[in-house]
Chain A
Amino acid sequence: MGLDKIWVFGEANGDAVATITLEMLAKAREIADTVEVFMAGDGDDYAEELGDHGATTVYATGDLDGAMQGVSVASAVAAAVADGNGPSAFMLGTSQDGRDVAARLSVKLDAPVITNVVDLEVDGDSLVGNEPIFGGTVDVKTKNTSGKPGIFLVRPKSFTAESAGGAEAEVEDLDVPDLGATGTARVTAVFAEESDGPKLDEAAIVVSGGRGLGEKDAYAMIEDLAKAVGGAAGASRAIVDAGWVPYSYQVGQTGKVVKPMVYIACGISGATQHLVGMKGSKNIIAINKDAEAPIFAVADLGIVGDVHKVLPKLIEALKAQ
């Protein structure tokens, strides 16, 4: 027995639907009879891919002309709900725009947002979200009891995206009402930070560096090792905050969630913030000077040692292979 209808927030990377959206569609299909997508932008560009993943209808706002997605999409959805066209529950990805939409919508519907969800189950006519806390050592299950549609913020990599072989989705207008003062922020320019090699959240091997590297220049070892194993380079929040590498490198609660075949943590102590972003990796190798570092509790192979000594030899040995 599932829910009648779930609305999934659609996000895009250029011409393609974002992975997080496809992951949520896979789960939504399992727990609801009807799955539809709501999104900013032009729905026609994504109707085929979304339909293939099980969405029957795409409600799209059209070009927002630089307005912020959060307030625009939430206002449009709240209007649709007021007209009686809303779903039983909303699923949104834990992204910048996903959070903005969920939060604005929460106020408009006076319904709570259940956050950091990695799994969902149906309980009667409501949904229960599972949120791991304390670095994933404790699971907390929270039920929407508001009597309003549940709003769930889902963490990336919680579900596996899978084609359902569905037909192209119908595209319908999602009208954005007059936003008044709340709609006055405008995006004036968009910048992408280019990086070489495989993407951090798609690579089979991820090599991450942390404060234990000691200084910014030492991060070059992380990039060399990543290159040597054909992987992607990542970082802990500590060295992103310190300005050694851009935010796009960050693995963890506030960065990317990665689940590679192998994760190599170099000079990372393993703060909760970091663990939630990489604990799902199939194999974990950790190198750290401090034998008591929490990272060793999740490592399949732990090396108590100095990254400045281990990494150069490791890079050399791998290059020689």
Chain B
Amino acid sequence: MKVVVCVKQIPDPADPGALDPESKTLKRDQKLILDESDSYGVEMALQLVDTAGEGSVHLVSMAPNNEVGGLRTALAMGAESATLVSDDALKGTDALGTAKVLAAAIARSEPDLVLTATESSDGYTGTVPEMVAELLGLPSVTFAKSVAIDGGTAKVKRQTEAGYDDVECPLPALVSVTAGVVEPRYPSFKGIMAAKSKPVDEVTCSDLGIDAGSVGWAGSGQEIVSVEDAPARESGEVIEDEGDAHERIVAFLDELKVL
């Protein structure tokens, strides 16, 4: 079974994010790491291939400046190989453009299953997985909280507002997984060493047959018209608990007459 996992390499969430005042997009000049949300898809893929007893896990990522830091982490977890799409023409690419690039890169490996997170931690549009499925002509199940493969069919518990649905979907298919679906493994020392020599195929838009005008700023059908600081919420009183903080909370609730 061939599984492709889409992974995003993002600025470390521990570093405060910032917008580039000129381009009005997120700054991406620092070192990029594997989006934690994607570690669940990587782990899921490794477990499914393990259960199937055969197959491989391939990664697909799009990032500026041929960044591979996050890919190496996922390779160290156990993925076999990766495709990285990096091209100056991709600057300013929106979710739809990103999906076009990922779909073209995924199509080259003709996978049985495509796994993604439900959304990235930095851009969180939550639309790319379903766009990729549509572009590849695949059925899809989003927001999976468990995934099993049974004789060419993905059996998924799909999170809903009320609880969950059981969904069955014949392969090939795309499934987006929620955080917490599995416990991502930590790369072992051996894995980290092995990852250094695993193949990362670096490709450009033209390698994928993508017209540069359909992605990047040129291909984005949206324009950021303003970026402004939101009205700040006035911060209130902060006190140290000296054993009687509960009384202060009760008094606060009493004042609001909500009890």
Contacts and interface: CB of A to CB of B under 8 A. Distances in A.
A299 B165 contact: no
Contacts, number: 269
Contacts of B140: 68, 70-71, 100, 182, 185
A111 B239 contact: no
A114 B180 CA distance: 27
A108 B96 CA distance: 11
A173 interface: no
A136 B259 contact: no
Nearest to A204: B258
B235 interface: yes
Interface string B150-167: 000000001111111111
Nearest to A103: B130
Interface in A171-226: 180-193, 204-205
A301 B249 contact: yes
B238 A299 contact: yes
A21 interface: no
Contact of A107 (B17, B131, B143, B165): B131
| A interface majority secondary structure | mixed
Contacts of B163: 190-193, 248
B134 A71 contact: yes
B233 interface: yes
Given A96-B142, A182-B137, A247-B145, A115 B258 contact: no
Interface in A64-123: 68, 70-71, 74, 94-96, 99-100, 102-104, 106-108, 110-116, 123
Interface in A26-50: none
A18 to B, nearest CB: 8
Contacts of B160: 96, 190
A16 interface: no
Contacts of B233: 279, 297-298
A291 interface: yes
Contacts of B259: 229-230, 318, 321
Interface stretch (A1-9, A52-60, A302-310): A302-310
A142 interface: yes
B231 to A, nearest CB: 9
A140 interface: yes
A247 B178 contact: yes
Interface in B101-140: 118-119, 121, 124-131, 133-135, 137-140
A142 B225 contact: yes
B241 A306 contact: yes
How many A residues touch the partner, as a band?
A: 35 or more
B119 A300 contact: no
Interface in A273-321: 273, 279, 283-285, 287, 291, 296-306, 309-310, 313-314, 317-318, 321
B130 A139 contact: no
A160 interface: no
A264 to B, nearest CB: 8
Contact of A309 (B128, B240, B241, B253): B241
A146 B219 CA distance: 9
B24 interface: yes
How many B residues touch the partner, as a band?
A: 35 or more
Residue with the highest number of chain B CB atoms closer than 10 Å, among A107, A240, A309: A107
Interface stretch (B47-55, B59-67, B81-89, B168-176): B168-176
B223 A143 contact: yes
B213 interface: no
Nearest to A253: B124
B152 to A, nearest CB: 11
Nearest to A130: B226
A128 B165 CA distance: 35
Interface in A240-280: 240-243, 247-248, 253-254, 261-262, 264, 273, 279
Nearest to B141: A185
A62 interface: no
A241 B222 contact: no
A188 B127 contact: no
A296 B237 CA distance: 9
A300 B236 contact: yes
Given A128-B225, A138-B230, A142-B224, A301 B95 contact: no
B226 A106 contact: no
19 contacts: A68-B139, A71-B140, A96-B161, A102-B127, A104-B130, A107-B96, A112-B94, A112-B221, A123-B225, A138-B230, A140-B19, A141-B226, A182-B137, A185-B167, A191-B165, A191-B166, A192-B162, A241-B180, A242-B180
Given A112-B220, A138-B227, A141-B227, 18 more contacts: A68-B140, A71-B134, A96-B158, A103-B128, A104-B134, A106-B131, A137-B232, A138-B229, A144-B221, A182-B139, A185-B170, A189-B166, A192-B163, A230-B259, A241-B179, A243-B180, A297-B233, A302-B237
Interface of A: 13, 18, 68, 70-71, 74, 94-96, 99-100, 102-104, 106-108, 110-116, 123, 128, 132-134, 136-148, 153, 180-193, 204-205, 229-230, 237, 240-243, 247-248, 253-254, 261-262, 264, 273, 279, 283-285, 287, 291, 296-306, 309-310, 313-314, 317-318, 321
